[in-house]
Amino acid sequence: MSLNRSVQFIIVGLAILLCCSSLIASPARAYYEPSVGVKKGDWIEYNISITGTPPPTHDVRWMRIEILPVQGAAFSVNLTARYANETIGSAVWKFNFTEGNVGGWMIIPSNLDPGDTFYDSSIHTRKSVNVPIQSQEQKTVLGASRTVTYGNDSFRHKEWDQATGVFVGSSEGIKNVTTRDGFYIHDLTVTIQAIATNMWSPETILGLKPTVFYALVATIIVLAVLILASVVVARRKKINTLNLSASSQAKIAVLTILFAILFEVANMLMSPFYGMGFSIAEINLIMQTLWTALVIVSMGFRLKGNYFLHEITMLIVMCAWWVGFSAVLLMNPFSTSTEVFSNTPLRLVMNALHAIFSIPALIFGTWLVGIWRPASTTFPAKSRRIAQLTTIFWIPSYVVGVLDFMVLHTTVFG
């Protein structure tokens, strides 16, 4: 009896050992649950550049994806796209990491390291594959340091944010291919770059991105030097009493207008701010700081009795501002984050306050430069009240604009 019991113990022990061995030897994928790194409400936006001639149905220049409810390894995204012809389209894409639905590698499982793979049953390859993560690096993405992973196949190179699995950049090249719709693609390259997201916050200094903070500091230093120089110039008697002829003043004014317009156009078309990753709101903050400082300098010249330099500096400000404002009117709103245009009570209040001060400031500023005439002896008295009103409205307008930027584009107020 004891022998039979011993045999039974041995058999049970061997069975347990075999079960444990089978668990250890089983492929890890059998028990691997892909990790979803996104949640409902997450969104990210992209700019798209294309070289070559794409099919009309794929000629997209901007897109936004927003995550819908997540259930296990499955979820959907609402994809909104702006086409080259300015039309807008949207669709719901379904993802399921277990089944290999990864939307052309748009979103993959999160926290994958080099050597890990994700399952792709893509219609592009027409077969199921395990795609390996090839490398990773620390990289600044949308103002924050993120771990970025890389992967590619024969026609696409992707970059993903490791923590969320969302792609942040890609390049795809297609040559000599006929689509299912019969469209022949000779040589096409599509480059996509993330431009805005709510999935992580940019690293900030006093609520500003480091590049914006340093640019503002540099701007303030330059302006401080400019203001100091203007004070020295205004105090020099020979400069203060310099009597330019009316024709000379007119020529200088015309050259000033041309310079201001060309400067503003060049700033919009070739500004290094864009290459440094500044948003339009950040560039506007820097430029408005510059213009406001020049208004203060201009009023300083006026107080010292130098009405010619007062008018020249105001001409620079108003010409540059009107060129910039005209460009904004022609700008497509989808070229930047649509979050800026959200119709919230806070946004409406900030817009209203900005309008209350900005519109009168611009009207009085334009009026101030409009009534000036070279070598005019009546200009000082005629423009005194207008200059006061320009200053009274301009300074609060700038302050409200800064608060508007801090509330809507930084984390200073939460």
Q: Quick: pLDDT tens for 231-284.
A: 565 555 444 445 678 888 888 888 888 888 887 777 666 555 544 556 667 777
What range defines the domain where residue 386 resides? 210-409
CB 282 within 8 A of CB 209: yes
**Tens-digit pLDDT string for the chain (414 aa):** 444 555 454 444 444 434 443 333 333 343 457 899 999 999 999 999 888 888 777 788 899 999 999 999 999 999 999 888 888 889 999 999 998 899 889 999 999 999 999 999 875 556 778 899 999 999 888 878 899 999 988 788 999 999 999 999 999 888 777 776 667 777 888 999 998 888 987 766 655 666 666 666 666 676 666 666 655 655 554 444 456 788 888 888 888 888 888 877 776 665 555 445 566 677 777 778 888 888 988 898 888 888 888 888 999 888 888 887 676 556 544 444 444 444 467 667 777 887 888 889 999 999 999 999 888 889 999 999 999 999 999 999 888 888 877 777 666 655
Q: Kind and range of the H or E element at 307? A: helix 307-330
Whether 134 and 106 share a structural domain: yes
Whether 132 and 222 share a structural domain: no
Whether 236 and 291 share a structural domain: yes
Whether 330 and 227 share a structural domain: yes
* 365 closest CA partner among 345, 344, 347, 391: 391
Q: Quick: pLDDT tens for 291-341.
A: 888 898 889 888 888 888 888 899 988 888 888 767 655 654 444 444 444
State which amino acid sits at residue 154. S
Tokens read off for 265: 């156009």
Whether 223 and 162 share a structural domain: no
Whether 280 and 158 share a structural domain: no
Whether 132 and 51 share a structural domain: yes
Q: What DSSP string describes 336-402?
A: S-GGGG---HHHHHHHHHHHHHHHHHHHHHHHHHHS--TT-SSHHHHHHHHHHHHHHHHHHHHHHHH
Whether 381 and 321 share a structural domain: yes
Tokens read off for 58: 């794929």
Whether 256 and 371 share a structural domain: yes
Q: Which of 173, 197, 221 is the last residue of a domain?
A: 197
Whether 220 and 324 share a structural domain: yes
CA distances to 186, 286, 345, 414 from 398, in Å: 52, 11, 21, 22
Q: What pTM did the predictor assign?
A: 0.51
32 domain residue, yes or no:
no
298 domain residue, yes or no:
yes
269 domain residue, yes or no:
yes
Residue 380, number of CB atoms within 10 A of its CB = 13
SS3 at position 328: helix
Q: Which of 197, 226, 253 is the last residue of a domain?
A: 197
* 321 closest CA partner among 396, 248, 383, 398: 398
Whether 181 and 266 share a structural domain: no
CB 108 within 8 A of CB 87: no
